[in-house]
Structures are given as C-alpha cells and as structure tokens.
Amino acid sequence: MATLPPLPPGATLDAAAATPEPTQYVPINSSASLPALPPGATLDQPAQGNGSTYTSMARLITGQPAGDQGDLTTNNAVRSVATGVPIVGGLLNRMDAAFNATLAPAVDPLLPDSFQKLPEDSWSDRYQHALNIQNGQDQAFHQEHPYVDTVLNVVGGVAGTVPAMMAAPGLFGIGSGPVLGRMAVSGGTGAAISGTDAAIRSDGDLKQTAEGAGLGLALGAAGPPIGKAIGAGIRYLTTPTDALSDLGAPARNYIAQELSDPTKLGALQSDLTRLGPEATLADVSPEWMGVARGAASRPGTRDAIVQPLLDRQAGANARLASDLDASLGPAIVPSQIDQALQASQQQITPLYRNAFANALPYDTQPIADAIAQDANQLRGPAQAAMARVRGMLNVSGTDQLSSDPRVMFETRQAIDGMLTGETDPKVIRALSEARQMVDDGLTQAVPGIKDADAAYSELARQREALAQGRPILNNQATALRPQEVQDMLQQGALPQGQQIGPSGVPTRMQQGVRAEIDRAAGTNAVDTTAIRNIVRGDGDWNRTKLGMLFGQDNADQALNAVDRETTFGQTANRVTAGSDTAMGQRFGDFLDNISTPTEIPGDLTAMGVTMRSAKKVADALLEQRSEGQAAQFANDLGRVSIATGTPRDQLVQALIARALQPGSTANPGTQALINAVLQSAGKQALR
C-alpha cells in the first residue's frame, strides 16, 4: 500500500518546500491511503498551522486541478455528453490518455509547473497516469452532480444513436411491418451495440459484456412496441374530434388503411365537387361502391343505405330539368310555338290586301308559253305537274289566260303546296322554275308585295327551323354532321328578300333542340342512361352541335348534368337491384359468417374492382368476432359511402386531415428518438 511522503519543513499542501521531492500522483481508486487528519482539521477546513485542505490534497492525488474537478462547468458537461455516446464514449478517455502519454516527453518541459504533467519514464506508465486523470475527473463530476451527469450521458447517447437509426432505420426496427419482426431486428442490433460498448468500457470483462448485450437485446426489442404505443397516444391526443369520431374503431381503421393517400382523396374530392352536393363516395369510387353494395346486402342496414339512394333517384327529373333550364334556357312546347307562328302569318294578310289595292293587270302569256313548252318536253310526274300549273293561270273554267295578279298569287301558293313533301328531283326543279317565273310577274304587277312576302317568308322559315331542330341530336344514320348544322345556322341567320336584320331561324332551331331534350328527359326520367344516350350520343358530335347552338360552356353544363344523373342512376341500380345483386349477396354472406371463416375465397377478385373492394371489407371484418361488431362495422362504412352534402364534405375533410397525420406507429424520427432514449437511459443502470 502506497503512503504519502511527509511534508518538508516549512512546506504546505499548497506550496512546495525549498527542495521539493517530485510530485507523486496516486489514482483516487487505487489502494493509497491518506494521512491522518491533524487535530481540529476537517476535509473542508485548513489544517492547523499550514493553511491547506485535505480536499485539495484529494484533488491533487487524483491529478486534477483544484478548481474544477467535480464542478458544474462547460468542460465537465461536454465530457459527460461525449462519454454517453455508445462505443465512442467508452474510447474517448483511452484515446485522450494515449495521445497525452505520447506527447508528454516533448510537451511537459514546455509547460508551467501548475499544469498537470506525466513524468513517468515508460509510455505505459504515462498512459495509465493519464487515464487515471480522465477517469477521475468523470467520477468526481458524477459524485458531485449524479443526476446532471446521468441526464447528460443520456443526451450523449441519444445524440450519438439517432443519426445511425435514421441512416439505417431497418436495423433498429423503425418503419412499417410486423411488430414481432421489427422487435427481433431491433433487439439484435441493440445487443450488438450495447455488448460492444460494455466490452470497451470494462476492458473486455466477460460478465459486464454479457450484461450489456442482454440489456441491449431487451431494450432494443422493446423499442418498436413502445414506439407504436406512443405513436398511438400521440395520434389520439392530436387528432381533433371530427366527422369520423363517431365511427367505430374497426371502421376508422379500415378507412385509414384504404384512404391514406392524400392525392387519391384529392381526386375523389374533385369528382364529388364536379357532380355536386348530391354525389356520394359510392358514385366516384369503385371501392366505396362495393362498400355500399355490401352494406345494403344486410337486412339490418339495407334500409339505411337503399332508401337515401331511392329518394335521390326520385328527384332526378326535377334536378335535371332545373339544370337544363339554367344552361340551355327553358323548354318550349313545339306545337304551341308553331301555332303562334301561324297566327302571326295570318296577321300579315292586311299587308297583302294593301299591296293588291295598287295591283295592275299583267300579261301572263310569256309565263304560260314557257310552262307549256316545259310540259311538252317533260314526261312522267314532272310533265303532269307542269300541265297542272299551266292550267292554274287560266280563268277558272276556260282556256283563256287571266291577267289578274291575284290569280298569279294563288298559283304561286299552289306551287308552294305542291313542293311540300315532294321528293322527285325533276318535279322539284320544274316546279321551282315555274314558281320563280310567277313570282317575278307578281313583283312587277303588285308593288309592295315583296314587303309582305318578306314578313310571311320569315315566319315560314322559322316554322321550318323549329321542325329542323328536333332531329339535330338524332343518333341514327340520318344524323346531321356538325358542319351541316353550322351551315344551317349561318344560312338561317341571313335575312331573305326585303327583310332587314338577322333572321330568327337560329333561335327556332335552338328551341327545337331544347324541346327534344325535354322530351327525352320526360319520357325516360327513370332510365337516366337512356337520357344520356339520346342527348350525348356515342361520340362527340352532339356535344359539338350543342356548343354551336347554345355556346360551349352552356353545352358542357347541360351534358355534365346529364352525366351526373346517369351516374346517380347507375349507383342506385347497382346498390339496390342491379347487376351486382349476386356480388352483394356473397358480400352479405361474409358479414353473416365473420366469426367462422379464416380467409376470403380468391376467386372473388374475378368480379372486378367492386368485388375486390367487398373482399377488402370482408377481410377487415374477419377481425370482428360478433354479430354486433359486424353490424356496426357495415353500418358505419355504409353511412360514409352514401353521405351527401355537408356531412359528406365533413367526412372527406376529416379523411384528408387524418391522412396527413402520422399513423398509429410513431414516425421514423419519433421512433428513433424513442429507441435512443430508451436504450441510453437503460445503459446508465449498468454504469
């Protein structure tokens, strides 16, 4: 056992004698013993007669400066944080000691005597001396500030571990995947790190190494489940009360799993906005269509799902009519418009009466000769038609030509009647030429007749345009091409004869088309698909033609309304009594038997996306082992699938908000922090 040499005469503990012996530094954890305290002296008070303290002696023995060995200084705090870093922290004191032992022979002679020096001859002695200094300072700080030192050690452990965890999260069980698998991986990594750290700090002591590895295994394995629990707690505390809060946990979990992508939710929200407040998730998503159909297959939830869809379908005609009125204008009754036009034509009679008041006799011989010549040359129906016209120019009951302009007027009217419905091109050409000759004669014989003709002709053109508008959306072989409709509109807008200003022909064509759309909606209100087939057709022609007539924006709004009601009708049919009945029945069987099956038959996937959605819901229901749980699950999801208006918007907003929040497992950064704190704090128990 080493002893301290006696103090030279006149020396104190803080001052060397005139001929001091070389200072000896004894490790605080060595077997050295301190001299007995002089009478009346304490460890914190000066001994009688020399003004020194044994506290100073103790610090001198450990090779530390008297002023900061265990004090709460920046140096000690930084050393504590660094010491807590796994593996590296255990090497720092040894690295410092080796560095100082190597440089001491060259550096110590240059340092003042107040600096700690390493006077030993051998490198190993200097290394041990320097290591004792480093360890002694750490021990002194821990003894005086144990709680602070522990916290700083944990901080160092966390700071040294988190970057590694973020760089290789899989090695620490961070991320998604089965909890047991992540526990096994994290436990193995923890055992390797802690075992290595313990071996370094204990100079290879097998017992301490084994203890460190075991503790690392336990703490590493505990990290993933603790992280998941904390993540669930964070989610519970940070998730506000919203439209999903009233749903059962199984339904919320299913929604979180199936609708966790904000981009997908954004697309659904866009489709819902396009279809309007009456739209449901079942209208825009095959998965939610399957949910609605599956929920409707259960007697306990059928009415709650089916009845709202039937009520919505009952209002299809009123909604469609309102939207069509807003975009295309109010519908008219073609027969009423035609009657009004005929009445307007009758009101033009006074114009003709006034014109004939100034009429002059007219020699029709040139006209009659030309018509007779055509009759002699033509054969068949054309010859007969011209012979009839020639006879109309005579005085009634005679072969004498009439010079009365009224006879020419009536002849022109009769020719117009003959042209109506005529299909033979030769007859049409011959009659048209005859009419033109008679009309030219009238113009000369009856001044002002063209003014009356212009008014009458405009009304006649409008009546014709009203009839032409009805078949414009025809999807048969006789359907008009968009270019043909464009030509009709352009020609129809031009004034004819003495007319001033644009014609009303385009307006009458619009009314004819609008009336045809109204007829289709009125006769096919229940079958919205039939309405769509009539109005939209199979290609783009009808859309283009509607744009020409009403403007493209208005046309698009009208067609969107038709498409919307078609979508609503298809949803109602498929959920209530459509072609998916078999799928819904099988889905209902899954719900009715959730307490017994262990898997869902794979052949269900052949029924398409909607059936796969039903399979997903049924798979989720396998975790619910009671009729009550299954009924609640089906009811919750069914209500979400058919929600409309404000409740629907609140549900979608809640889905988007929750999709942007972390799941039940903590995010990687939080998980890494949890693991690092857990392991670092646990290791302090062994130190």
* Gap between the Cα atoms of 94 and 43, Å rounded: 31
Q: Given this model, what pLDDT does residue 327 score?
A: 92
Confidence at 67, pLDDT banded by 50, 70, 90 = very low
When computed from its CA atoms, the radius of gyration of the chain, rounded to whole angstroms, is 51
Helices (H), 18-145: 54-61, 74-84, 88-107, 123-144
Q: In which residue are the tokens 């269509």 written?
A: 289
pLDDT digits (tens, 9 = 90+) for 255-292: 776 666 778 888 888 999 999 999 999 999 888 888 88
Q: Mapping DSSP to helix (H, G, I), strand (E, B) and coil, where does residue 211 land?
A: helix
Show contacts of 20-24: CB within 8 Å, 24+ apart. 22/119, 23/60, 23/119
- Averaging pLDDT over each range in 34-48, 187-201, 354-368, which range is the top one? 354-368
Average pLDDT, the chain: 76
Give 284-342 pLDDT, tens digit per residue: 988 888 888 888 888 778 888 999 999 998 888 889 889 989 999 998 899 999 999 98
Confidence (pLDDT) at 533: 76
pLDDT at position 45 over 50: no
pLDDT band per the 50, 70, 90 thresholds, residue 5: low
Q: What tens digit of pLDDT does each residue of 143-186 get?
A: 888 888 788 877 877 777 778 777 777 777 776 667 788 888 87
Lowest model confidence (mean pLDDT) among 83-92, 452-461, 482-491, 607-616? 607-616
Q: Is the pLDDT of residue 523 over 90?
A: no
- Give 15's pLDDT tier (boundaries 50, 70, 90): very low
Give the pLDDT score at 56: 30
Q: Is 70 helix (H, G, I), strand (E, B) or coil?
A: coil
What does the buried/exposed string (b/e) look like for 170-181 if buried means 16 or more CB atoms within 10 Å of the residue's CB? ebbbbeeeeeee
pLDDT for residue 79 is more than 60? yes
- Band of the pLDDT at 527, cuts 50, 70, 90? low
Domain boundaries of the chain, sorted by first residue = 159-239+665-687, 249-314+579-660, 334-569
pLDDT value of residue 22: 44
* pLDDT tens by residue, 222-255: 777 777 677 666 666 655 677 777 788 778 777 7
For 214-232, give the DSSP string.
HHHHHHHHHHHHHHHHHHH
- pLDDT tens by residue, 393-428: 999 888 899 999 999 999 999 998 999 888 999 999
pLDDT of 595 > 60? The answer is no
- Phi and psi torsions of 15, nearest 5°: -140, 140
Q: How many helices (H) and strands (E) does the chain have?
A: 30, 0
531, pLDDT greater than 50: yes
Q: Can you tell me the distance from the alpha carbon of 480 to that of 207, in angstroms, rounded to the nearest whole number?
A: 95
- What pTM was estimated for this model as a whole? 0.52
Instruction: Give the 3-state secondary structure of residue 12.
Output: strand
| pLDDT reported for residue 586 | 44
Torsion of CA 517, 522, 527, 530, to 10 degrees: -30
Listed range (59-73, 127-141, 318-332, 518-532) with the worst mean pLDDT: 59-73
586 vs 553, higher pLDDT: 553
Is the confidence at residue 593, as pLDDT, over 50? no
Confirm if 678 and 219 have CB atoms less than 8 A apart: yes
Instruction: Provide the pLDDT for residue 258.
Output: 67
Q: How confident is the model at residue 630 (pLDDT cuts 50, 70, 90)?
A: confident
Tell me the pLDDT band of 36, cut-offs 50, 70 and 90: very low
Q: What is the largest CA-CA distance in the chain?
A: 176
Ranges 57-61, 131-135, 556-560, most confident: 556-560
Average pLDDT of the segment spanning 471-491: 85
Better-scored residue on pLDDT, 468 or 620: 468
Residue 406: its pLDDT value, please?
A: 92
Give the tens place of pLDDT for each residue, 633-680.
Answer: 888 888 888 999 998 888 888 877 776 665 444 566 666 666 667 666
